Amino acid sequence: MERFWLVLAIVVFFLLCLYGMWLGWRRKSRSQSAWVPPFPEVPAEPGEVVLESTGLYLSTTIAGSWQDRVVTRGAGLRTGAVWRLHPEGVAVERGGAPDFWIPRAAITGARRDSRIAGKVMGTDALLVLTWRLGELELDTGFRGDDLEDYPQWIDKLSPHDIKGGAQ
């Protein structure tokens, strides 16, 4: 009978830990919804697809703070995704979570990285876009199925392409 109570205590402790994490996630989401503007929606007619990659959307964080995950409005959900580069921006299409649009004019950089909230790699196997949303600068991370696509993304989203309009 002592074993039963010990197992029950461990299960209750585990459930309390899960409940605490859920409460923390909800609290952070509510807090961020006051100062993080809604992510732009993908336009109905975004234009032709210039580049497309499939993979895993990892997270969006406050730029320069790779562990400060944005969780409001579904941005914190890690999902399978397709990134499509259009002339006017990047469509981030996520399975099971809201899609969003990163306007090309808002993108301040694209790079390979080894870490973002929710994923740390030994190599630079992540593609991270830095972009502005209102007054905030954000990093959005992606783990592509084909890492050979990354140089194309970085080249097409480099600052000279963005500001100069060349493609």
| pLDDT above 90: residue 74 | no
Is the Cα dihedral 111, 76, 131, 47 positive or negative?
Answer: positive
Express each pLDDT in 4-39 by its tens digit: 999 999 999 999 999 999 898 788 778 777 778 989
Computed over every residue of the chain, the mean pLDDT equals: 89
Q: Of 92, 89, 87, whose CA–CA distance to 75 is shortest?
A: 92
pLDDT band at residue 119 under the 50/70/90 scheme: confident
The DSSP call for residue 146 is -
pLDDT band at residue 108 under the 50/70/90 scheme: very high
Express each pLDDT in 125-152 by its tens digit: 999 999 999 899 999 999 999 999 999 9
Give the Cα separation of 136 and 126 in Å (integer): 22
Give the Cα separation of 50 and 33 in Å (integer): 32
